[in-house]
């Protein structure tokens, strides 16, 4: 493994009896906590107290921790001076928040996760169908932005289905030429690549703590202050105001404006610890490690008859550690169940909250194996061997789901 994460040595039961070490290939859904994150949370727990609302020592420590977390996120992303860090629950929450602030139409691609598709529906959403190549997809974006002004271009940093990357700097440049701002859904990108908001020109960015090696419950929206300050608060309530009188309210500026209610100090501290830890990793070796494992998995699976990979663009040159595939003769759900029950391997199956993309790729469902900081070569080989074993048995030999038991 590249770093120590929780659950590395988890023992899981096998249907044939006995136990094995869990092989986690579901980092893209939620990544286990980094050791530095676990330590930071343990350190803060004794001081866990009300944030912004108490004068006691523990409250002051908790408040400091919460506020300094904004700096960790801003440093991690090299945020510009006019960009603020708003803490949310997750990427979905961040994107819905931004959707409530956009003063005009939003242009999106149909490659997106539902979280970056559905919030815009209510806000003048214009969907651009992707093409077979990134180059042609970009031309379609240009045509759309030129045809009618748009306030925002909302794009994914890395596809949650295939891991493929879009050229963000170029898209930001194109958007800006058209007077449009750009939002990046970095839920899958932030855990794998360093993102520099200043040099790429990205205006808004969202990601979730739980995909970036912190626990559930905290996410971020980082972005330019003016829209966030001009919009109505996302939630109305305590903490979002400067003053309230019987007949009116003066809202606080962002980020407090959009953070009403008692904040999730442990979640935010964990997210900040993850950002600090990820920022410390050497990006080149991190990418090399991940690409080695991803290529090993891809080449291994390629040798198994009937395995087909999903790919969005013919000309995509780079991807994060995600391999999506189908196996002829087997339902993805059956394969996933078999991998878990017989081999203690966790993958994701289904449509990955990206129904329009799966429809475009012509599959009802697929399997997704995603790689992260705790993945080892041995894990990869186990997954390849398990799929090869299943295919050797043949499609007639199958699993049926009965009340949570697995019947060979």
Of residues 155-214, those binding ligand PMP (CB under 6 A): 156, 160, 185, 187-188, 208, 210
Tokens of 301: 């699976």
Q: How many residues bind ligand PMP (CB under 6 A)?
A: 14
In this structure, the number of other CB atoms found within 10 A of the CB of residue 196 comes to: 15
Of residues 351-370, those binding ligand PMP (CB under 6 A): 353
CA–CA dist 231, 268 (Å, integer): 24
275 catalytic? Reply is no
Nearer to ligand PMP, 154 or 373 (CB): 154
Point out the residue whose Cβ comes nearest to ligand PMP. 160
Give kind and range of the element (H or E) at residue 153: strand 152-156
**Cβ(296)–Cβ(323) below 8 Å:** no
Q: Residue ranges of the alpha helices (H) in 344-376?
A: 355-361
Burial class (CB in 10 A: 0-12, 13-18, 19+), 232: exposed
CB of 318 vs ligand PMP, minimal distance in Å: 16
Q: Which member of 111, 115, 168, 347 binds ligand PMP (CB under 6 A)?
A: 115
CB of 350 vs ligand PMP, minimal distance in Å: 11
CA–CA dist 162, 117 (Å, integer): 17
Q: Which member of 59, 90, 137, 316 binds ligand PMP (CB under 6 A)?
A: 90
Binding mask 245-264 for ligand PMP (x = CB under 6 A): --------------------
106 forms beta bridges with 125, 152
By CB under 6 A, tell whether 116 contacts ligand PMP: yes
Nearer to ligand PMP, 62 or 92 (CB): 92
Of 110-118, 172-180, 224-232, 387-395, which segment contacts ligand PMP by CB under 6 A?
A: 110-118
In angstroms, what is the C-alpha Rg of the chain?
22
CB of 389 vs ligand PMP, minimal distance in Å: 29
Q: Residue 124 — left, alpha, or beta (φ > 0 → left; ψ -120 to 50 → alpha)?
A: left
* Strand 204-208, strand 181-185: pairing: parallel
Of 51-59, 111-119, 266-274, 392-400, which segment contacts ligand PMP by CB under 6 A?
A: 111-119
Of 10-18, 38-46, 87-95, 142-150, which segment contacts ligand PMP by CB under 6 A?
A: 87-95
CA–CA dist 345, 387 (Å, integer): 11
Of residues 145-164, those binding ligand PMP (CB under 6 A): 156, 160
Of residues 8-67, those binding ligand PMP (CB under 6 A): none
CB of 341 vs ligand PMP, minimal distance in Å: 24
Give kind and range of the element (H or E) at residue 172: helix 168-177
Asked if the peptide bond before residue 229 counts as cis, ω within 30 degrees of 0, the response is no
CA–CA dist 129, 307 (Å, integer): 27
**Cβ(193)–Cβ(207) below 8 Å:** no
Residues of this chain that interact with ligand PMP (CB under 6 A) are 90-92, 113, 115-116, 156, 160, 185, 187-188, 208, 210, 353
Residues belonging to the active site: 353
């Amino acid at each position: 493994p590249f770093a120590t994460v929780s659950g590395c040595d988890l023992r899981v039961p096998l249907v044939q009896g006995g136990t094995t070490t869990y092989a986690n290939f579901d980092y893209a859904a939620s990544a286990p906590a980094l050791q530095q994150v676990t330590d930071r949370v343990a350190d803060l727990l004794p001081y866990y107290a009300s944030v912004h609302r108490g004068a006691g020592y523990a409250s002051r420590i908790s408040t400091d921790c919460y506020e300094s977390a904004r700096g960790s996120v801003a440093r991690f992303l090299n945020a510009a001076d006019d960009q603020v860090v708003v803490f949310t629950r997750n990427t979905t929450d961040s994107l819905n928040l931004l959707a409530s602030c956009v003063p005009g139409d939003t242009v999106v691609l149909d490659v997106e996760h539902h979280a970056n598709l559905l919030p815009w529906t209510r806000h003048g959403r214009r969907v651009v169908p992707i093409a077979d190549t990134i180059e042609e997809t970009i031309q379609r974006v240009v045509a759309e932005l030129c045809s009618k002004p748009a306030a925002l271009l909302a794009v994914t940093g890395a596809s949650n289905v295939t891991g493929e990357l879009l050229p963000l700097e170029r898209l930001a440049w194109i958007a800006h030429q058209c007077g449009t701002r750009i939002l990046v859904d970095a839920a899958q990108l932030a855990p794998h690549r360093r993102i520099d908001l200043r040099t790429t020109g990205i205006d808004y960015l969202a990601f979730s703590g739980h995909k970036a090696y912190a626990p559930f419950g905290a996410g971020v929206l980082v972005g330019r202050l003016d829209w966030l300050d001009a919009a109505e608060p996302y939630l109305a309530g305590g903490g979002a105001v400067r003053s309230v009188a019987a007949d009116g309210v003066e809202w606080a500026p962002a980020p407090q404006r959009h953070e009403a209610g008692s904040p999730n100090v442990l979640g935010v501290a964990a997210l900040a610890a993850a950002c600090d830890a990820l920022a410390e990793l050497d990006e080149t070796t991190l990418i090399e490690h991940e690409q080695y494992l991803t290529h090993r998995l891809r080449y291994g699976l390629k040798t198994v008859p009937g395995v087909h990979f999903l790919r969005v663009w013919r000309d995509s040159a780079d991807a994060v550690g995600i391999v999506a595939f189908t196996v002829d003769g087997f339902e993805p759900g059956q394969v996933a169940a078999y991998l878990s029950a017989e081999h203690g391997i966790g993958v994701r199956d289904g449509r990955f909250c990206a129904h329009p993309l799966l429809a475009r790729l012509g599959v009802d469902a697929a399997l997704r194996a995603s790689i992260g900081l705790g993945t080892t070569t041995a894990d990869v080989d186990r997954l390849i061997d398990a799929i090869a074993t299943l295919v050797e048995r043949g499609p007639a030999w199958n699993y049926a789901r009965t009340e949570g038991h697995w019947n060979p």
